[in-house]
Amino acid sequence: MFDDKVVLVTGGTGSFGRRFVSELLAEQKAAKIIIYSRDELKQSEMMSRFSEAELRVLRFFIGDVRDKERLSLAARGVDIVIHAAAMKRVESSEYNPIEAIKTNVLGAQNVIEASIAANVEKVVLLSTDKAVNPINLYGATKLCADKLFVAANSYVGKERTRFSVVRYGNVLGSRGSVIPLFKEMKKSGTIKITDTQMTRFWITLEDGVKFVMACVERMQGGEIFVPKIPSMKIVDMASTIAPDCEQEVIGIRPGEKLHEVMISNDDAVNTYEHQDFFEIVSPFKNLWSNVGKNLPSNGALVSKDFVYSSDGNDKWLSSEDLIAKLGAL
């Protein structure tokens, strides 16, 4: 899919962006990879990790997704856009709501408009489980971005640009995740957890990157792709990481859910199950003149009462599985 293509990665210096670019260099033969981000220090640090041969393929572009003019310049000649740039911390978004809206909502619309103007072939948005039935601003802004990307297929006209969304759960060991926090707490002898019943979806960064790549290959436009990934209780994760530490229950924080949902009951009527992922098809797809209307060829429509939640999951991450995955991070 990526051979001889020009690929633009917004937020390319983040955890996902760095791993995605590394996988792209190792597994694909992209003609050019553009890393678009606003932090020159992170770009400089990222440059130092690649060989001279790899750097010939890479372009480091300073810019903010809030700046449509700059984004449009970066998108010239691009075939595939992976939109990973976002404000992602719940507490930061709550305290700086308009900044989250500018980046996550208006930034997503800028990506859409710049991609259409540049006649980009495929554009994928990285979403989150927090976009489903959101109770915090971060989740609400990502829900807006999801809606914008799906709807963007309706006004592309006869151009080739297609938009889809990839939604998955918490990334094991990523910056800001609970694992580095637990490892730091371990030094004090006490691990603070919010609720003993709390569950979360978990995916490794490598699996997340590979899933996004596969979705770029299979997308027609307007789909929301959700991988089948395991759940784990936060308390079990804490016990695995710090078995000898005491645990202190501090209560759920503002804007936090007890369990996460990646597919709500309201989306069940448009959700198809595949072997290792779910596909939510837009109910407006048949109205779009520019997008392939074929329903998932090897998917089965889920039941009307279907919900994909972290507490009702049929796949669970054991302590042994977590230790094996942590060793590989």
Residue positions annotated with a catalytic role: 130
Q: Angle CA(191)–CA(193)–CA(198) in degrees, nearest 5?
A: 145
190 neighbors 152 (Cβ within 8 angstroms): no
Residues 6+ apart with CB under 8 A from 328: 204, 206
Output b/e per residue, 297-324; b: 16+ Cβ within 10 A: eebeebeeebbbbbeebeeebeeeebee
Q: What is the DSSP letter of 1?
A: -
> Greatest CA span in the chain, whole angstroms?
62
Nearest to 207 by CA among 11, 23, 13: 23
